[in-house]
Structure 1
Amino acid sequence: MESSSEFPTSPSSGTTAITNPGFPVSDTVLSGASLPSPPERTSSQGGGIPLSKTASNVSSHSHRQSFAENQRHPPPSPRTQRHPSFTQQAIQDLMNHPPPNRHQNPRYVGRDWRDVAVGELLQPDEVKWAELDMSIQEATKTLFQSSPNNVVLVRQDSSSKEAMSTFDHSDLNAYLLAVVGLAKPEEEQVALYRDISVKAQSQEEIPLRDLQPIFRKEELVKIPAESTLDKAIEVFGGGVHRILVTNKDSEVVGILSQLRLLEFFWNEAVNFPLIDRLYTIVLRDLQIGTQQIIAVNADAPLADALFLMSSEGLTSVAVVDNGHNVVGNISTVDVRHLTNANSLPLLKASCMHFISVILSERGVEHGRDSFPVFYVNPYSTLAHTVAKLVATQSHRMWVVESASPSPSAPATPLLQASSSLPPLSTLSPPAISPGRTGSPTPGSATVVVPPPGAITTSTPQSPSTQGPFSSVPASALPGAGLSGRLTGVVSLTDILNLFAKSSGLRPLDPSEQRARRRRSSSSSVRPTLDIGRENGRGSVDSRR
């Protein structure tokens, strides 16, 4: 949930395409491209002369080039003869160079973006609510309908407009891990997690109130609608993902996310020269992003990726092969594919297999296969990077050491699955062995990617994948390693932090927010940060 290229896939005999579960499958916007025609093969032995039955005293091998000569002048690689289709080329041009015929918006022309009110970016009726006594099943249905914000605000009762908490895909992931016994709770929370598993196994409704202790706790930042964007970007530049916008009565009237603000700067940058001039600079010169990346091996079980995102407070994780080449991306939004009880065996299947399932399902929805691209390289312009983030509705782009030499993407097999969507309470946890309080700690296939130039003495070991699915290793997929070696990551936080600093503002330190997310799994306190109306300063109010 970041532009894409395609390979048509033809289902093998006996396979059935995944049926739409009835909810929006993903919040990512994919850009597809038609498959370019394969290059015509040319003879690699241009000097060869066919043998003739006519009389001749000349030996046939004298008319052929020797094997050694052919090796000195090998034929050109077919990869160099590939050309993007018109659609793919148009997408690439759009991302590399914003449309030249952009017109200034009368609403913002002549204005400083720092003087634009937060309320001007809101959309009507975008806030989705859930009550503390609402079941996790009903809250999940509401979450799936909350696009593009991908969050549900939790309140005390239906008459209130004050948010006490939130419910998003990261919380859904935490619940799923608890239900199937893959979470690793603190000692004082073992009984709580076991109780959740038992209730889910017995198909008993579980209210959000009972699940608050297991959800990731991130402070609720509130800001008045009349506040200006400079206040918001200082908060976003510090790593906060969303801000609750309130009216004069302190009632929540909207949600402003990092992605919404970045979309605003992408669409309206022509009105703000201070921002627009940054788009032509390459990432290497901007020196943004980080080289400290945690990825997951493509052959690792999907459960490892889900546990990694939950324990590290991440919304997405890169999937790499044994050479650290990016082969895919898994986000917390993808957890919605696991709310069907029949899909639980996917937890034991490989991450690469799960990616192929997602792509196949998108292909059924869109009538064609699409392969979202979640990576850039150090020589990509900021415009190219922002365009991908906006197009894919993603929180981050993985930085690879080189660009993909071909827009081709591996074919994605289809998988048989149920068309119904049973309630989440039907998810049954695995049996726990006597004398053990939980399942083995996931994460054995986690890959800590070394910085560029580091010498890797060994390759990550890929654990065996158990389950009913025949998982295809990432290395066996055609084109799986064409992205390039993973060397860094650029997030929405990094870009908004850049915009803030280039405008003379002082955003918060993103590292503090990241550390807070990692600690939040063991805390039941969700602080609320209210940014004042007069001076823009706030105070932290810790609430249960």
Structure 2
Amino acid sequence: MADPAPHLDPPLRKSTASPSQLPNNGATISHRSSFADNMRQSPRSQRHPSFTQAAVQELLNHPPAAKTNDPRFAGRDWRQIHVGELIDKNEVKWAELDDSVEQATKARASCLLVDLGPPNVILLREKSSDTVALGTFDYSDLNAYLLVVVGLANPEGEQVEIFDTLAKKGREGVSIPVRDVQTLAKKEPLVTLPESADLSKAIEHFGSGVHRILVCKDGTTEVIGILSQLKLVRFLWDNGASFSAIDALYPMILRDLHIGTPQTICINGDKSLSDALQLMSDEGLTSVAVVDNAFNVVGNISTADVKLLTNSSSLPLLKSTCIHFISVILSERGIGDGKDSFPVFHVNPYSTLAHTVAKLVATRSHRMWVVESASPSPSAPATPLATPSITQAFHSSPASSTPASPSLSNTFPAVSAAALPGARISGRLTGVISLTDILNLFARQSGLNPLSPNDQRARRRRSSSSSVRPSFDSARNSSVELRR
């Protein structure tokens, strides 16, 4: 039987006991909380991988093949397929604006964000009878909320009073409605399409940087489905043989397709997890690459990993290093999957588009980190995707725990980047390729005209600049060498 979902102590209220003092009883503590508390002593942390490095590399070189084509779409122009044909009405989950954050994350049967899975979003409405979405709540919102209640957010101006009020409520265990936190995270505007709209319209939105589209019943504002970038990429991958213009792109290598960007934000593995969460919140990112001192990719942290922190006894992990947290993520994922897990969030300039898309689909990721790779030809020099322009997280950790920062003083043993399974099969970070880049390519190849995804990224950078602390700005403008 599956273990129960981890509980978000209402709402992340201060714990008076350290993790080592909490009872290790499965009847009173969720599995994930117990795992996080005992990570340092867990025999899994000393387990040897189930596969050799060569076996892992073989798996990465030969990712899962596409599924059999769906006969419903054979012989059709994918651009004229209706968005309503791709949605699953059961994926639409609702919460009311006056529900507490705890209710939106785990309490109500219809609003289990932690266990929801794709598309990892809850729609918000004024009252239970409404079918109009007024907003969304996802892991980026949960990350922003967590940073506020533990006193690690970076408010400015009029935000200071709002953040202080939320932190005080969290410290006192007062219920906080979703209405009060839905604007903490940086969000893109809600985009809706009628169910009869063609996929050509959806892919133009996605290729311009929109991550999800709400699908409405024709002629109404009633939301009946959610179409995400990943769902559309998976659809085009699984049915690629039916769509010749797209299928022709899959054998090409990334270097020749000229997609992706060298402007990459990463964080050193020695930095704390709280620094990584602050970085993603400040920059409006859903994931960030974790690198060693030589910029080799050693892992990936995403906002979805915040689910491992939804119990107050897990909050000391905020002070652990990013590398330590990656070991927690991999071991936890291995427990859930019944096998050991490896970081596979990277490709190289000589990876084919098929290889890249297969890995995105298999890992349900929004982006792949592009790393250096030797040229396949012995006579040719190594050719990265582009010269990297890398911004490191250079946040300084708080000098002391604030009143709203419960039990964050625990220290964790250092974990070597080289000790992580699969760490030596990546390479130096040189760029990133996202679902947006891939869908933009598909749109252009099919004669459509999406906006430039780089324009969307530039707007996000400008919108985030006011909330980023001066120490981070100075790091952004400095050299690409790692700072300590």
Normalised TM-score (structure 1): 0.69
Structure scoring higher RCO (CA < 8 A, sep ≥ 6) equals 1
Find the counterpart in structure 2 of residue 217 from structure 1.
Answer: 187
Larger radius of gyration: 1
Could you report, residue by residue, the CA deviation over 1:98-154 in whole angstroms, capped at 9, with x for unpaired residues? 46xx75432112211111000000113110001010000011122123321000000
Q: State which of 96, 99, 114 in structure 2 corresponds to 1:134.
A: 99
* Equivalent position amino acid for 2:62 in 1: D
Q: Is 1:123 matched with 2:81?
A: no
Find the counterpart in structure 2 of residue 207 from structure 1.
Answer: 177
Q: Is 1:508 matched with 2:451?
A: yes
Q: Structure 1 residues 493 and 114, CA, compared in 2 at 3 Å: closer, same or farther?
A: same
Residue aligned with 2:282, SS: helix
Q: Distance in 2 between matches of 1:346 and 1:34?
A: 24
Q: CA deviation at 1:92?
A: 3.6
Find the counterpart in structure 2 of residue 112 from structure 1.
Answer: 77
Q: State which of 183, 196, 207 in structure 2 corresponds to 1:237.
A: 207
Q: Is 1:247 matched with 2:217?
A: yes
Find the counterpart in structure 2 of residue 310 from structure 1.
Answer: 281
Q: Distance in 2 between matches of 1:460 and 1:148?
A: 28
Q: Structure 1 residues 131 and 349, CA, compared in 2 at 3 Å: closer, same or farther?
A: same
Q: CA deviation at 1:35?
A: 3.3
Q: CA deviation at 1:213?
A: 3.6
Q: CA deviation at 1:511?
A: 2.8
**Structure whose residues are more often helix by fraction:** 2
Q: Is 1:20 matched with 2:31?
A: yes
Normalised TM-score (structure 2): 0.77
Query: 2:139·2:306 contact (CA, 8 Å) conserved in 1?
Result: yes
Residue aligned with 1:197, SS: helix
Could you report, residue by residue, the CA deviation over 1:154-193 in whole angstroms, capped at 9, with x for unpaired residues? 0111010000010000011110111111111121110110
Q: CA deviation at 1:514?
A: 2.5
Query: 1:237·1:496 contact (CA, 8 Å) conserved in 2?
Result: yes
Q: Structure 1 residues 455 and 264, CA, compared in 2 at 3 Å: closer, same or farther?
A: closer
Q: State which of 395, 411, 423 in structure 2 corresponds to 1:468.
A: 411
Across the aligned residues of Structure 1 and Structure 2, the Cα RMSD in angstroms comes to 3.1
Find the counterpart in structure 2 of residue 335 from structure 1.
Answer: 306
* Equivalent position amino acid for 1:178 in 2: V
Query: 2:388·2:429 contact (CA, 8 Å) conserved in 1?
Result: no
Find the counterpart in structure 1 of residue 121 from structure 2.
Answer: 151
Q: Distance in 1 between matches of 2:427 and 2:30?
A: 33
Q: State which of 474, 477, 487 in structure 1 corresponds to 2:430.
A: 487
Segment drifting more, 323-332 vs 471-480: 471-480
Q: CA deviation at 1:372?
A: 3.5
Find the counterpart in structure 2 of residue 395 from structure 1.
Answer: 366
Q: State which of 309, 312, 323 in structure 2 corresponds to 1:352.
A: 323
Q: Structure 1 residues 455 and 20, CA, compared in 2 at 3 Å: closer, same or farther?
A: closer
* Equivalent position amino acid for 1:35 in 2: S
Query: 1:297·1:462 contact (CA, 8 Å) conserved in 2?
Result: no
Q: Distance in 1 between matches of 2:82 and 2:246?
A: 17
* Equivalent position amino acid for 2:92 in 1: V
Query: 1:319·1:327 contact (CA, 8 Å) conserved in 2?
Result: yes
Q: CA deviation at 1:463?
A: 8.2
Q: Is 1:161 matched with 2:172?
A: no
Q: State which of 182, 193, 211 in structure 1 corresponds to 2:152.
A: 182
* Equivalent position amino acid for 2:200 in 1: D
Query: 1:162·1:250 contact (CA, 8 Å) conserved in 2?
Result: yes
Could you report, residue by residue, the CA deviation over 1:3-37 in whole angstroms, capped at 9, with x for unpaired residues? xxxxxxxxxxxxx9996349xx9xxxxxxx97346
Gaps of 5+ in 2: 1-23, 37-47, 377-383, 399-408, 467-484
Q: Structure 1 residues 451 and 397, CA, compared in 2 at 3 Å: closer, same or farther?
A: closer
Q: CA deviation at 1:89?
A: 3.9
Residue aligned with 1:293, SS: strand
Q: CA deviation at 1:362?
A: 2.0
Gaps of 5+ in 1: 1-15, 26-32, 38-81, 406-449, 524-544
What percentage of aligned pairs have identical amino acids? 58
Residue aligned with 2:250, SS: helix
